[in-house]
């Protein structure tokens, strides 16, 4: 996890706000939800009350998107992480294929 990913995950865990480089974290007191953006695309949403994480590669399964999402999963204690192989998105738990690179779908993380 690099320095920026550490700042992002710290803001996420503490209900903080950050806007640095190509990444932003927002928090809503009203909904108890933190949202993470990469290049203006929402890649993660964490419901603090329900302790529920959703992620979205927004059609860009790049190394940067994957690294941000994997850092978020790790920081929140989830045992899942994602990998890109042969143009397809996989998660480590059961090596489940989640779709082709370029798909734009929300994935709920369960552990």
User: Which SS3 state, helix, strand or coil, does residue 106 take?
Assistant: strand
Positions in the chain whose pLDDT score sits under 70? 80, 86-87, 93-103, 111
Q: What secondary structure does DSSP assign to 9-36, as a single string? A: HHHHHTT--EEETTEEEEEETTTTEEEE
Q: What is the pTM of this model?
A: 0.88
| pLDDT confidence of residue 103 | 67
| pLDDT confidence of residue 100 | 63
Q: What are phi and psi of 42, to 5 degrees?
A: -75, 115
Residue 48: exposure state from Cβ atoms within 10 A (0-12, 13-18, ≥19): middle
């Amino acid at each position: 996890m690099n320095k920026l990913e550490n700042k992002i995950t710290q803001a996420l865990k503490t209900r903080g706000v950050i806007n640095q480089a190509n990444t932003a974290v927002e928090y809503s007191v009203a909904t108890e939800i933190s949202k993470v953006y990469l290049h203006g695309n929402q890649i993660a949403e964490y419901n603090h009350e329900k302790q529920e994480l959703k992620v979205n590669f927004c059609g860009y399964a790049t190394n940067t998107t994957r690294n941000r999402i994997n850092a978020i999963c790790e920081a929140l204690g989830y045992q899942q992480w994602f990998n890109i192989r042969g143009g397809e998105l996989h998660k480590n738990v059961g090596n489940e294929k989640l779709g082709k690179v370029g798909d734009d779908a929300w994935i709920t993380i369960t552990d």
